[in-house]
């Protein structure tokens, strides 16, 4: 499936966002700021700033897009802060093809770099005053990121606690991925609407779009974590099984039978052979769990598209190209290969 509208805006937005972020991530001590910029310079999808900028443009044209640039930078800096701390917690060696921040700079400086990035995400929001965003909307932007910040921390807490328990069901999982992943994409869409000076009900409607995209994105991420093509994902096959992640696939299989649960417990203990990993993956297919997860991702993706269509039907969309990009992004979230 082609995503021409989304690709076109990616080509436009990524250089703008990168330039804005690099201007913000400057200061002393230099090594601390280099550590803060390390992951961002390694690349990334820039999904969240794309949502901010495309939403602003869809609802408020090019004028709103320019007001949204600091907000787009804020969510990307914040997102990368969470990745720095995640990598420390998971003791990961690589991300985006480069050594993780704590492997290059050490754990104490990496923690401090993450803390700095958290602070600078708010500095970026306040910079939106310089691009013409009035104080009442700046306050709304600060509130949106603050609410997302709390939710992301709660989601990470649930994720860590799930590692200790097999008493986790699909509802628990969906709550966790909304908090850990969906909440920041929800905030991104809200920030774009705020930059467009949208009414509160429109801001909330765009937030719902972002929430749904986030759910679809994370479920698809979990599918790719087990079944993705390593040449596209950059991760080994069965990656999430090896890491003991309680994805929707694992939860559904574990609840199918006691023998399936025992197999997964053996794998998560770190003592399983490649054959056992393959057996668990085949169970996910034969029990219909893989198909279930993919359909669930697609259902959230389609609901996100319907949210956009309602806004367009109400005459609130002023830029068709950005609107199509947001639709593309919703569809991409459930179909992506990497």
Reported as half-sphere exposure (CB side, CA atoms, 13 A), residue 51 has a value of 33
Could you give phi then psi for residue 98, rounded to 5 degrees? -125, 160
Tokens matching residue 182 = 């969906």
User: Which residue ranges form the domains of the chain, and what is each CATH number?
Assistant: 4-335 (1.10.600.10)
At 2 the pLDDT is 56
Tally helices (H) and strands (E) across the chain. 16, 2
Query: Please, are residues 239 and 226 in contact by the beta-carbon 8 Å criterion?
Result: yes
* Chain position carrying tokens 């939710």: 151
Q: Where would I find the H helices in 163-245?
A: 170-177, 183-195, 200-227, 230-233, 239-242
CB atoms within 10 A of CB 244: 14
Q: How far from each other are the two terminal CA atoms of the chain, in whole angstroms?
A: 14
Query: Please, are residues 195 and 68 in contact by the beta-carbon 8 Å criterion?
Result: yes
The tens place of each residue's pLDDT in the chain, 338 residues long, gives 556 777 888 888 999 999 999 999 999 999 999 999 999 999 888 999 999 999 999 999 999 999 999 999 999 999 999 999 999 998 888 888 898 999 999 999 999 999 999 999 999 999 999 999 999 999 999 999 999 999 999 999 999 999 888 989 999 999 999 999 999 999 999 999 999 999 999 999 999 999 999 999 999 999 999 998 888 877 778 888 888 889 999 999 999 999 999 999 999 988 778 899 999 999 999 999 999 999 999 999 999 999 999 999 999 999 999 999 999 999 999 999 88
Our measurement of the distance from residue 203's CA atom to the centroid of its chain's CA atoms, rounded to an integer in Å, reads 19
Nearest-angstrom CA–CA distance, 117 and 105:
15
Query: Please, are residues 265 and 164 in contact by the beta-carbon 8 Å criterion?
Result: no
Pairing of strands 98-99, 94-95: antiparallel
Nearest-angstrom CA–CA distance, 143 and 194:
11
């Amino acid at each position: 499936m082609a995503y021409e509208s989304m690709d076109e805006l990616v080509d436009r937005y990524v250089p703008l966002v990168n330039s804005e972020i690099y201007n913000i991530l400057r200061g002393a001590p230099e090594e601390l700021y280099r550590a803060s910029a390390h992951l961002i310079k390694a690349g990334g999808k820039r999904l969240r700033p794309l949502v901010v900028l495309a939403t602003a443009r869809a609802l408020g044209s090019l004028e709103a897009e320019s007001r949204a640039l600091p907000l787009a930078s804020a969510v990307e800096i914040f997102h990368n802060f969470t990745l720095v701390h995640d990598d420390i917690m998971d003791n990961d060696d690589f991300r985006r093809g480069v050594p993780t921040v704590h492997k290059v700079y050490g754990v104490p400086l990496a923690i401090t770099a993450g803390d700095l990035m958290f602070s600078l995400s708010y500095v970026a929001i306040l910079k939106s005053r310089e691009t013409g965003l009035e104080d009442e909307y700046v306050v709304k932007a600060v509130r949106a990121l603050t609410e997302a910040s709390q939710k992301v921390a709660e989601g990470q807490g649930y994720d860590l606690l799930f590692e200790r328990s097999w008493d986790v069901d699909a509802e628990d999982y969906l709550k966790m991925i909304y908090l850990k992943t969906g909440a920041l994409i929800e905030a991104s869409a809200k920030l774009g609407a705020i930059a467009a000076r949208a009414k509160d009900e429109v801001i909330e409607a765009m937030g719902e779009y972002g929430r749904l995209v986030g759910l679809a994105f994370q479920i698809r991420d979990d599918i790719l974590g087990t079944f993705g093509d390593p040449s596209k994902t950059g991760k080994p096959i069965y990656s999430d099984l090896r890491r003991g992640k309680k994805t929707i696939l694992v939860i559904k299989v574990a609840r199918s039978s006691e023998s399936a649960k025992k197999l997964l417990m053996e794998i998560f203990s770190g003592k399983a052979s490649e054959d056992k990993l393959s057996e668990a993956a085949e169970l996910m297919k034969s029990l219909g769990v893989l198909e279930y997860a993919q359909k669930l991702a697609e259902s959230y993706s389609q609901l996100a598209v319907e949210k956009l269509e309602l806004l367009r039907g109400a005459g609130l969309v002023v830029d068709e190209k950005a609107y199509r990009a947001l639709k593309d992004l919703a569809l991409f979230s459930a179909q992506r290969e990497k």
